[in-house]
């Protein structure tokens, strides 16, 4: 499971002109899932993301986590995080999990991070053509991969 985490001042998702998700200060989480992902991957990634100290304290030092500031989160599924660009000019997405596998894992991830944060987590819509708008704060962008936790 891969995630691109962006610290944002605001972020939103629009589908076919309708605003479906909107957050203020917090994290935009782009989430890519492979068939081999399990509950262990969800546990590890939720813990890392919710406790990652990438939010400024009063001294402008990245020393606070999403939990510390009671920040908001927006989770957007993004199979393209598992693109392979080794051959040719057209990326291959063969590593990305198919919807029948990815959707339950995505939903479990959202449910678990909601539980950890004790608040509703905003989401995009799995498989939809989404327009994601954000104001990256910093900018701060972190890439996490549950298969590279050692």
CATH number of 2-148: 3.50.80.10
Is 78 in the active site? yes
Report the C-alpha gap between 71 and 8 in whole angstroms: 10
Percent of residues, the chain, with pLDDT higher than 70: 99
DSSP secondary structure of 11-60? EEEEETTEEEEEESSEEEEEEE-BTT--HHHHHHHHHHHHH---EE-TTS
Q: Which among 6, 79, 109, 123 is annotated as catalytic?
A: 79
Q: Which among 38, 39, 80, 120 is annotated as catalytic?
A: 80
**Mean pLDDT (the chain, rounded):** 96
Domain boundaries, the chain: 2-148
Q: List, for residues 24-58, the tens digit of each pLDDT value.
A: 999 999 999 999 999 999 999 999 999 999 999 99
- Return the pLDDT at 149: 78
Report the C-alpha gap between 93 and 120 in whole angstroms: 30
**Residues 120-146, buried b or exposed e (16+ Cβ, 10 A)?**
ebbbbebeeebebebeebeebeeebeb
Q: List, for residues 10-28, the tens digit of each pLDDT value.
A: 999 999 999 999 999 999 9
Is 126 in the active site? no
Judge if pTM exceeds 0.85: yes
- Return the pLDDT at 23: 97
Please give the average per-residue pLDDT across 83-94, as a whole number. Answer: 92
pLDDT above 80 (res 150): no
Report the C-alpha gap between 69 and 61 in whole angstroms: 14
Is 80 in the active site? yes
């Amino acid at each position: 499971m891969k995630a691109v985490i962006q610290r944002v001042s605001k972020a939103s998702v629009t589908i076919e002109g309708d605003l479906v998700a909107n957050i203020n200060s917090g994290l935009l989480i782009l989430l890519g899932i492979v068939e081999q992902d399990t509950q262990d991957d969800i546990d590890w990634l939720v813990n890392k993301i919710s406790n990652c100290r990438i939010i400024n304290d009063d001294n402008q030092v990245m020393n606070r986590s999403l939990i510390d500031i009671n920040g908001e989160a927006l989770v957007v599924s993004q199979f393209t995080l598992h693109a392979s660009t080794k051959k040719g000019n057209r990326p291959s997405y063969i590593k990305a999990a198919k919807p029948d596998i990815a959707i339950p894992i995505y939903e479990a991830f959202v449910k678990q991070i909601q539980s950890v944060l004790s608040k509703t987590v905003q989401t995009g819509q799995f498989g939809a053509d989404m327009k994601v708008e954000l104001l990256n704060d910093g900018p701060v962008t972190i890439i996490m991969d549950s298969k590279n936790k050692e």
